[in-house]
């Protein structure tokens, strides 16, 4: 039997090239080697305020972008978190074995709670729900971008703690990071991770941005005061642009260096923009085709939920038994 893979994206804004290079691209690559479940994690999105009509739209848009990126729904499972109630059910059970200090230490919790006027309890529980997503399916591998490494460590800790308290129950998952593109930085601020929810029109390249917008954003990207690329002394902005090019092109380090060393920043930017435009064109074309067919996305999501439901139920039943919760005999 193939090992299981689980990963998710929040439908919390416009998916960007960081989401693609950090997560979706790996998902597509490994989908025929494993049994893959790819999830739109809407329960995670509501840990910060969302506009209901917008969220409803973004869930379908995110699903369509998974498929447009190359996820094959005949093979991989694509589903929405809130359509399988066992995610929330298992999350509660895991909350009860998770020390609150583990959650207060999470850097994402610290950063996101600073930005909120009132911090909902969900923001603190966020990583427990993420652990539940993964452990519910006994996933062995979780492909994510670098910013999720700390949450994955917490998932492993929760699984190990549960196993030692109640006996072997959960597979302890491994994190799978891409070698290039695991952390794409903001174009306007190369010290900050590119993020869906960051403000500023020059921050992120959305997967559905038209070519002229992509070119404009890249031409305006922050670099440094040097005129040309100098390998060995790369500033963060230039390094980020080179990283974007390399992740899309899959060129080797040697190829990158011999092609770009000494190139003026203006030319570098033109070439990066061209690469991004070319690589996103087929994805954008597929997106248009997918969304033209009324009801197609809802059908894929309904089938996905139906396919995972028995796995989710059987894990929750096992956990209930292990913990001594009521089960009908
Ligand atoms: P938000 O800003 O709403 O928190 P986000 O842009 O960080 O969203 P997520 O939905 O949290 O996106 O992440 C989905 C996937 O994309 C995760 O696997 C995450 O690690 C990856 N990812 C997010 N941002 C980047 C980035 N800048 N570089 C590489 N991978 C990223
Ligand atoms: N927290 C993740 C999204 C996420 C996820 C998961 C990723 C929720 N559940 C399970 C992998 C596995 C993020 O990218 N912000």
Rounded to the nearest whole angstrom, what is the distance from the C-alpha of residue 71 to the centroid of ligand 1? 18
Residue 329 lies in a domain: no
Same domain for 61 and 126, yes or no, is: yes
What is the rounded CA–CA span in Å between residue 15 and residue 9? 9
CB contact set of 56 (below 8 Å; sequence gap of 6+): none
Nearest CA to ligand 2 atom 5: 8
Atom number of ligand 1 nearest to Cα 194: 27
Same domain for 31 and 82, yes or no, is: yes
Same domain for 266 and 233, yes or no, is: yes
The DSSP annotation for 242-261 comes to: HHHHHHHH---HHHHHHHHT
Residue 77 lies in a domain: yes
Q: Please state the separation of Cα 221 from the chain's center in Å.
A: 23
Same domain for 158 and 219, yes or no, is: no
Same domain for 76 and 91, yes or no, is: yes
Residue 201 lies in a domain: no
Number of CB atoms found within 10 A of residue 258's CB: 11
Which residues surround ligand 2 with Cβ inside 6 Å? 6-8, 10, 41, 44, 130, 133-134, 142, 144, 148, 151
Same domain for 124 and 236, yes or no, is: no
Atom number of ligand 2 nearest to Cα 130: 9
Count of structural domains within the chain: 2
What is the rounded CA–CA span in Å between residue 313 and residue 286? 34
Same domain for 167 and 86, yes or no, is: yes
Residue 200 lies in a domain: no
Q: In what order do the strands lie in the sheet with 174-176?
A: 77-80, 35-40, 4-9, 141-143, 174-176
Same domain for 11 and 35, yes or no, is: yes
Rounded to the nearest whole angstrom, what is the distance from the C-alpha of residue 204 to the centroid of ligand 2? 19
In short, whether 148's Cβ falls inside 6 Å of ligand 1 is yes
Atom number of ligand 1 nearest to Cα 195: 6
Rounded to the nearest whole angstrom, what is the distance from the C-alpha of residue 14 to the centroid of ligand 1? 11
Residue-wise pLDDT tens for the chain (329 aa)? 899 999 999 999 999 999 999 999 999 999 999 999 999 999 999 999 999 999 999 999 999 999 999 999 999 999 999 999 999 999 999 999 999 999 999 999 999 999 888 899 999 999 999 999 999 999 999 999 999 999 999 999 999 999 999 999 999 999 999 999 999 999 999 999 999 888 788 999 999 999 999 999 999 999 999 999 999 999 999 999 999 999 999 999 999 999 999 999 999 999 999 999 999 999 999 999 999 998 999 999 999 999 999 999 999 999 999 999 999 87
Same domain for 64 and 138, yes or no, is: yes
At 190 the pLDDT is 96
Q: Could you list the residue range(s) of the whole structural domain that residue 317 is in?
A: 4-181+294-323
Least Cα distance to 220 among 269, 275, 279 occurs for 269
At 277 the pLDDT is 98
In short, whether 184's Cβ falls inside 6 Å of ligand 1 is yes
Domain of 218: which CATH number? 1.10.240.10
In short, whether 151's Cβ falls inside 6 Å of ligand 1 is no
Same domain for 276 and 230, yes or no, is: yes
Q: For 99-153, what is each residue's pLDDT tens digit?
A: 999 999 999 999 999 988 889 999 999 999 999 999 999 999 999 999 999 999 9
Same domain for 171 and 314, yes or no, is: yes
């Amino acid at each position: 039997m193939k090992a299981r893979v689980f990963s998710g994206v929040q439908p919390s804004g416009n998916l960007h090239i960081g989401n693609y290079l950090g997560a979706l691209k790996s998902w597509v690559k490994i989908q025929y080697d494993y049994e893959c479940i790819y999830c739109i994690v809407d329960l995670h999105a509501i840990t910060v305020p969302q506009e209901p009509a917008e969220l409803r739209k973004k869930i379908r848009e995110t699903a369509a972008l998974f498929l447009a990126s190359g996820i094959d729904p005949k093979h991989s499972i694509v589903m929405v978190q809130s359509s399988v109630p066992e995610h929330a059910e298992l999350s509660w059970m895991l909350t009860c074995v998770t020390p609150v200090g583990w959650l207060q230490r999470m850097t994402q919790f610290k950063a996101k709670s600073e930005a909120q006027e009132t911090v909902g309890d969900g923001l603190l529980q966020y990583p427990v729900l993420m652990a539940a997503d993964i452990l519910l399916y006994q996933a062995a591998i979780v492909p994510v971008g670098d910013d999720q490494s700390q949450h994955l460590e917490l998932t492993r800790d929760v699984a190990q703690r549960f196993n030692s308290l109640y006996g072997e129950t959960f597979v302890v998952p491994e994190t799978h990071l891409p070698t290039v593109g695991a952390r794409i930085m903001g174009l306007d601020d190369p010290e900050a991770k590119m993020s869906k929810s960051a403000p500023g029109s020059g921050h992120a390249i959305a997967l559905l941005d038209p070519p002229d917008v992509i070119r404009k954003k890249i031409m305006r990207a922050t670099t440094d005061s040097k005129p040309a690329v100098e390998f060995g002394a790369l500033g963060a902005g230039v390094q980020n642009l080179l990283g974007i090019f390399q992740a899309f092109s899959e060129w080797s380090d040697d190829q990158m260096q011999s092609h770009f060393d000494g190139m003026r920043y203006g030319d570098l930017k033109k070439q990066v923009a061209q690469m991004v435009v070319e690589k996103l064109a087929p994805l954008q074309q597929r997106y248009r085709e997918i969304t033209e067919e009324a009801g197609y996305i809802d059908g894929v999501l309904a089938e996905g939920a139906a396919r995972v439901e028995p796995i989710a139920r059987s894990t929750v039943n096992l956990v209930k038994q292990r913990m001594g919760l009521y089960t009908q005999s």
